[in-house]
Structure 1
Amino acid sequence: MQNHDADTRVRYRERLSPSLWMLVAAAVVAPMAMLVFTPIGALPGLLIGAAVALAVILAMIFGSPRIRIEGTTLRAGRAQIDARWLGDVVEYTGEEARAARGPKLAARGWHLLRGGIDGIVVVQNIDPGDPIPSWTISTRTPDRLAAAIRAAEADAARAAQLPA
């Protein structure tokens, strides 16, 4: 039986992969590439077009950013922050999420926004040495992400109270 340390436990993970309509739109690359390579021959043009479309779709899927909460660390895309520096967490869906992505978006904040993903979580950054006041993160499950962030904050607060 494995003994998982609380500092390494994965609380939440999500890949912000493109929506189905974006993948279909990427597939339009196939006929365009095929037309470019048709002078070589119909079959090579068809094969190259299919390969290019597949490569674009795979790049979109595997290149999409990930959100992960591991222990007390929030990782969103390439950025990461320890939960001890996180403040209030607010999740938005529907019209509130649209407003949070638009007119209410913090200009100085850090953003990981993806089209086609409705939910938004906004987390306050309370680190006095960090000029970024908040993180705005797109997510398909804002309630689960917010709950995982709050649990990580609670663990970080408990760890800070323990004597070294």
Structure 2
Amino acid sequence: MDEGSESLGQGDRDASRHERAFAGGELDIDRGDQVGTGIVGPRVPRWLDARVETLDLHVGAHVARPYPRRVRPLRHSRGVNAEHRERLTAPLPWWLVAVGAGAFTGWLVRVATTFEIGLVVAVVTAAAAVTVVAAYGAATVQASDEGLRAGRAWLDRAHLGTVEPLDAEGWSRAFGEDGDLRAFTFTRPYIRTGVRVTLEDPADPTPFWLVSTRFPASVARALGHGD
């Protein structure tokens, strides 16, 4: 309420204006501090647990249940449902952009220096960009009668509710009118389809998972919810 620079003798009232509102909402910085002028250094919220992949934010302010992670591959299905395994590889335009970024950076350096230096910068930049694209597209989605694995996140069959395959239109609605900030998302922007998997676990306030996949019907069948 009161700043240290205020003069004494105000008594119980403060005629000056209050500080700005507390930082709140879904992405809370620190509930104990006010946000004033200057640059605030954000820290990682406690609700971003190990289930969140790099470059993927679980945008929710709840404390999700820490389900165990599977470090081994899923076993082949023992039931009638075939196992689904998919790598979310980036499409060709992403690779071309990565190579083009290296070439363009090398050309800029070559204009200011020499051809040899520009060539080295182009190769190094392109290699770094390609590595980022490859790592981003290396994430996998696996589904079987044991449960669902999205990247490093694992949902056991015991906590799995309904599985709804979503086409491009349904996928768009899932992040719009049908969206929920408490949902866990594992997505890639170049994949326009996916599945919505509800949770049956009173201990976890997460309503559902949204997982990108190019073959939503296959994921649903592997989890026992297909035709």
Query: Structure 2: which 5+ runs fail to align?
Result: 1-73, 78-82
Task: Indicate if the aligned counterparts of 2:102 and 2:129 stay in contact, CA closer than 8 A.
Answer: no
* Correspondence for 1:88: 162
Corresponding position of 1:34: 106
CA distance in 2, matches of 1:13, 1:102: 28
Cα deviation for residue 49 of structure 1 reads 0.7
Is 1:107 aligned to residue 188 of structure 2?
A: no
Change (3 A) 1:32 1:114: same
Distance across 2 between alignment mates of 1:61 and 1:146: 27
Higher helix share: 1
Which residue is 1:125 aligned to? 199
Match for residue 210 of structure 2?
136
Whether the aligned pair in 2 keeps the contact of 1:8 and 1:71 (CA below 8 Å) is: no
AA of the residue aligned to 2:76: R
Q: Which runs of at least 4 in structure 1 moved beyond 3 Å after TM superposition?
A: none
Secondary structure in 2 aligned to 1:74? strand
Offset of 1:121 from its aligned partner? 0.2
For normalisation by structure 2, the TM-score amounts to 0.57
The residue type equivalent to 1:103 in the other structure is E
Paired residue for 1:98? 172
Could you tell me the TM-score, scaled by structure 1's length? 0.76
Moved more, 53-62 or 122-131: 53-62
Note the C-alpha offset of 1:40: 5.0
Change (3 A) 1:102 1:50: farther
1:69 shift after superposition: 2.7
Which residue of the partner structure matches residue 75 of structure 2?
8
Which stretches in structure 1 are left out of the alignment for 5+ residues?
1-6, 152-164
Give me the CA root mean square deviation: 2.2
Structure with the higher fraction of residues in strand conformation:
1
Kept after mapping to 1: 8 A contact 2:147/2:160: no
Q: Distance in 1 between matches of 2:205 and 2:120?
A: 50
Write the mapping of 1:135-154 to structure 2, written as runs, cut at 5 A.
135-150=209-224
Give the Cα–Cα distance (whole angstroms) in 2 for the partners of residues 125 and 35 of structure 1: 51
Q: Does 1:60 align with 2:133?
A: yes
Task: Show CA shifts across 1:79-115 (max 9, x none).
Answer: 1111110001100113222212332122211011211
Alpha-carbon distance, 1:147 to partner: 0.9
Percent identity, please.
Answer: 28
Inter-partner Cα distance in structure 2 for 1:20 and 1:148: 28
Taking the aligned partners of 2:113 and 2:76, their CA distance within structure 1 comes to 54
Contact 2:144 2:223 in 1 (8 A): no
Assess if the C-alpha contact under 8 Å between 2:145 and 2:224 holds in 1.
no
1:73 aligned to which of 134, 140, 147 = 147
Asked if structure 2 preserves the Cα contact closer than 8 Å seen for 1:76 and 1:112, the reply is yes
Opposite residue 196 of structure 2, the aligned amino acid is V
SS at 2:172's partner residue? helix
- Distance in 1 separating the partners of 2:207 and 2:197: 9
Question: 2:121 maps to which residue?
Answer: 48
Alpha-carbon contact 1:13-1:68 (below 8 Å) kept: yes
What letter corresponds to residue 31 of structure 1 in structure 2? A
CA distance in 2, matches of 1:19, 1:85: 33
Alpha-carbon distance in 1 for matches of 2:113, 2:152 = 41
Bigger CA radius of gyration:
2
| Deviation at residue 36 of structure 1 after TM alignment | 5.4
